[in-house]
Structure 1
Amino acid sequence: MMYRIKITERNKICLKNSVLFSVLISILAQIYIYPFNTRFVLGVGVIVIGLIFSISENIYPVLIGIITGTITASIRSIGLLMSSSSYSNDIIMQFMPAAIFYIIYGILGTIFPLTRRNKSIIHLYLSLVSFDIICNTAEILVRNMFSISTIKVIIITALVRAFIQCSAFLIYKYQKLYIKTLEHQKRYAELNLMVSKIYAEAFYLQKSTNDLNTIMREAYNLYEMNKDKEEFSVKALSLAQNAHEIRKNNDRVLRGINQLVQNVEKVEYMSMSEIFCIISDNTKRQIDNVNSNIFIKFKLEEDYSVKRYYDIFAILNNLIINAIEACSGDNMINVIGEISQKELLLDVSDNGTGIDKDVLPYIFNIGFSTKFNEETGAMSTGIGLCHVKNLLENLGGSIEVESDIDRGTKFLVKIPLSSI
């Protein structure tokens, strides 16, 4: 009767990792000393095998023990044979007990997985000490070197070696946590920026809905006023009905967007220092992606927690993007935030191309833009600065702009603290 053994993807990964780790441990095991002027060997490989068993789940400990023991004993024996003028069984027997050490270590690692004991550093430390003592005791029994003094040294060595292993384990865990925290912060920053953009689109959708309501009322009033003119009144009523249908669709989309924004994990308040940090990281990545030599600097004079932080995100993002688009070479952008007379002041300035005096009065008009795509020739949407102005009007704030051609532009935003 034939049986088919199914090898899963995890089996392949465990096998591959076990072989690679075995080679690594065997190489490091060649760094060793002879304590007590005997044939007993203390190597660095033991520290590494304990650490690997503590942090890696996708391995076969007993396989690592067998392969490592075999390779380690073989390398040491071959090395000594090559330096010796004649073959001797003593040379082989000198290092074969080292293989027993690693094999027993692998068996213990399989029966008592260290990855299940690493939740508590005390449990891990005691387990590593126990593994070390058991394996070394087995080795000295094979070598017929058992004595009280040898046992004392084995215990001291196990305590020290386990301390080194636990220290290395804590460094590894801290580094892993640090990388995970950085990734979480990056995702959180991208999420906040995405929500702020959705929030901006919802703002304009709400505005168009309000405009549709106005159109619908005016069309219906025209219908009421011209009932005696059948053709005209029918068209006015049709216009009102069409506007009503479009408004209903807009309302459904708005509800969906608002529900999406509300379901996103968010805090009630966010400090200006966090906002600056998120926008700074995102802006620097954006500048790096376009291989620009623009340098951007953020400075916060005084920290403050705000509730309507999505509005702050939208305001700063649009002003910074506008500044980046105005820079063409080795330019500088400064973003400064401070609290003054119960107002939040945001200063975004650059030393880019500047804005013509004749154009300044129109830059906050919706659809107005002097920028275009050099490759396609398509004009910019002209929404950014208009959106900033609308947000500030809703917050009871204001925006001032100063600009000189070839010298740069400065935007100064003032927002009452009571509104944010």
Structure 2
Amino acid sequence: MISKIKITAKTKLCLRNTILFSILISVSAQIYIYPFSSRFVLGLGVVAIGFVLAITERSYPLVIGIISGILTTLIRSFGLAWASYSYSLEVVIQFAPAAIFYFAYGMLGTIFPLYKQNKSILRLYFSLLGFDVICNLIEISVRSMISLDAIKIIVFTAIIRAFVQCMIFLIYNYQKLYIKKSEHQKRYAELNLMVSKIYAEAFYLQKSTNDLNNVMKEAYNLYEMTKGEAQVSTKALSIAQNAHEIRKNNDRVLKGINALVENVEKTEYMSVSEIFSIISDNTKRQIESINPNIFIEFKLEKDIYIRRYYDVFAILNNLIINAIEACDDKSTISVIGEISEKELALIVCDNGTGIEEDVLPYIFNIGFSTKFNQDTGAMSTGIGLCHVKNLIDDLGGSIEVKSQVSMGTKFIVKIPIVKL
């Protein structure tokens, strides 16, 4: 009965890394010198194998040592044969001890894994130093070249080579941390934008709930006032009951949203410059997918940390989205932040289609919109600018709009610093 051998994903990864690293080391080993006019070779492959074994545990060090040693010997002997137009066993034997060096290095790397030493740069340094010295001593023993001078050069070379390996390791680690930090910042920015949108919706839902509460009270008061008129009082009571049910549903949704927002990891304060940076990165990606010919710029001279940064996210996002939708090719959008002792001014302006003068008084009304889906003909919800107005009113601020058809639009938001 033939049994099937299953190769796990981890084993495949280790084998792939082992082969790739072996080739890399063998190629690096072709950069070498002959110190003190002898057959002993000092190659860059030693730096490569030490670095490789220090950064990864998903490989087979002994196999790397064997493959690297064989490939290094073959490549060097073929290189010499090519140059001299002759190939013989003597040429291979000349470079064979180099293979023994890599065999020994792979064996040491298996017994004393270098990746376990990389938590401390000093431990890694002395481990690399020890590997280098031991393996070179084994090689010169095979070559019958042991002498005090040879040992001195081996130790001196190992000290320098281990230092170079540690420097490369530190640079590699720094680059890896930088990439990880960049990815984290990107996810953090996207999370903040998402939460700001949820926050804006929750704010609007809260306002609607308060309005429903007022409707319920007024309907119930009407019911009390018209008890003698059965038809009117019954209708008023029905309205009050329906408003009460809707309010309860809204309350449940609000509790869920608030719990979601509260559980999201966030800082207590954020600087305006960081808000601008996050929105800038996100908006530029959005513009690239919609119309790459639109140019957007962000300007901020001073900076300040604020607590209610989600409000600012929501305000700017809505105004910028409106500006993008109003722009065509070669249009420009400017987002400017001006900070004084008493207020934060946010200015969003564009040179797009503009807003007609007779429409301007209604743009902050709930449900009012001049935008529609060109494919379906469905009107926009018309709650974006209403959101903005509600948030600004809650912050005790003001919003002003200036616009001319075909000339563009300018929104000026002013919010008291104390409210932020």
TM-score for the superposition, normalised by structure 1: 0.95
Pairwise CA distance, 1:152: 0.8
Helix, strand or coil: the match of 1:103? helix
Give the equivalent residue in structure 2 for 1:355: 355
**Superposition pairs for residues 363-402 of structure 1, below 5 Å?**
363-402=363-402
Asked if 1:91 corresponds to 2:103, the answer is no
Equivalent AA in structure 2 for residue 316 of structure 1: L
8 Å contact kept, 2:291–2:329 = no
| 1:70 matched residue in structure 2 | 70
Amino acid paired to 2:298? F
CA distance in 2 between counterparts of 1:291 and 1:204 reads 30
What is the total number of aligned residue pairs between the two structures?
420
**For 1:348, what is the secondary structure of its paired residue?**
strand
Deviation at 1:89, TM superposition (A): 4.3
Taking the aligned partners of 2:105 and 2:119, their CA distance within structure 1 comes to 20
Partner of 2:344: 344
Which digits, 9 at most, give the CA deviation of each residue in 1:278-323, with x for residues without a partner?
1111111111122321111111121011110000111111111111
RMSD: 1.9
Looking at structure 1, the residues matched to 316 and 259 of structure 2 have their Cα atoms a distance apart, in angstroms, of 24
1:9 correspondence with 2:9: yes
Which residue of structure 1 lines up, in the alignment, with residue 404 of structure 2? 404
Task: Output the CA distance in 1 between the equivalents of 2:105 and 2:384.
Answer: 65
Deviates more, 1:334-343 or 1:105-114: 334-343
* Aligned position for 1:23: 23
- Tell me, what secondary structure is at the counterpart of 2:355? coil
Match of 1:222 in 2: 222
Q: What SS does the corresponding residue of 2:181 show, helix, strand or coil?
A: helix
Distance (Å, rounded) in 2 between the aligned partners of 1:378 and 1:236: 33
Secondary structure of 1:101's partner?
helix
Superimposed CA distance per residue, residues 226-268 of structure 1 (whole angstroms, 9 cap, x where no aligned partner): 3344455444333333322221121111011011111111111
Residue in 1 that maps onto 2:249: 249
Q: Give 1:27 deviation, angstroms.
A: 1.8
Deviates more, 1:176-185 or 1:364-373: 364-373
Change (3 A) 1:187 1:85: closer
- Stretch moving more, 79-88 or 378-387: 79-88
How far residue 407 of structure 1 moved from its aligned partner, in angstroms, is 1.6
Q: CA deviation at 1:414?
A: 0.7
Please give the secondary structure, in 2, of the residue aligned with 1:410.
strand
Report deviation, 1:201: 0.9
- Residues in 2 aligned to 1:83 and 1:61: alpha-carbon distance in whole angstroms: 32
Q: Deviations over 1:64-90 (max 9, x none)?
A: 001111111122223334555666543
Mapped contact 2:204–2:390 kept (Cα < 8 A) = no
Q: Deviations over 1:311-337 (max 9, x none)?
A: 011111111111111111101111111
Match of 1:117 in 2: 117
Distance 1:391 1:128, change over 3 A: same
Distance 1:371 1:2 in 2: 69
Q: 1:5 to 1:161 in 2, by over 3 A?
A: same
The alpha-carbon distance between structure 1 residues 83 and 346, as it changes in their structure 2 partners (threshold 3 A), is closer
Q: Please give the secondary structure, in 1, of the residue aligned with 2:119.
A: coil
| 1-structure distance, mates of 2:201, 2:232 | 35
Q: By how many angstroms is 1:3 displaced?
A: 8.2
Pair 1:270 & 2:270 matched: yes
Name stretches of at least 5 consecutive residues in structure 2 with no aligned partner. Answer: none
Residue 401 of structure 2: SS of its match in structure 1?
Answer: strand
- Structure 2 CA distance for aligned equivalents of residues 188 and 314 of structure 1: 16
1:121-174 CA-to-partner distances (Å, cap 9, x unmatched) read 111111111111111110000100001110111111111111111111111111
- CA distance in 1 between counterparts of 2:125 and 2:315 reads 53
**What's the secondary structure of 1:299's corresponding residue?**
strand
Q: Counterpart in 1 of 2:238?
A: 238
Residues 1:45 and 2:71 aligned together = no
Aligned to 2:171: 171
Flag structure 1 segments of 5+ consecutive residues without an equivalent: none
* 1:375 partner SS: coil
- C-alpha separation between the residues in 1 aligned to 2:143 and 2:255? 78
Q: Which moved more, 1:391-400 or 1:361-370?
A: 361-370
Partner of 1:106: helix, strand, or coil? helix
**C-alpha separation between the residues in 2 aligned to 1:46 and 1:22?**
12
In the TM superposition, residue 112 of structure 1 has moved relative to its aligned partner by 1.4
- Kept in 1, the 8 Å contact 2:345–2:412? The answer is yes
**Could you state the TM-score of these two structures normalised by the residue count of structure 2?**
0.95
Query: Is residue 2:292 matched to residue 1:296?
Result: no
Residue 5 of structure 1: how far off its partner (Å): 5.3
* Matched-pair identity in %: 69
Stretch deviating more after TM superposition (152-161 or 243-252): 243-252
Distance 1:401 1:375 in 2: 30
Matches within 5 A, 1:315-326: 315-326=315-326
The residue type equivalent to 1:376 in the other structure is T
Name whichever of 375-384 and 285-294 sits farther off.
375-384
**Distance change (3 Å), C-alpha of 1:327 and 1:291:** closer
What residue number does 2:155 align with?
A: 155
Higher mean C-alpha deviation, range 5-14 or range 404-413: 5-14
Task: Report the CA distance shift for 1:309/1:121 in structure 2 as closer, same or farther (over 3 A).
Answer: same
Task: Name whichever of 398-407 and 135-144 sits farther off.
Answer: 398-407
In 2, the alpha carbon distance for the partners of 1:364 and 1:314 equals: 15
367-376 or 29-38: which moved more? 367-376
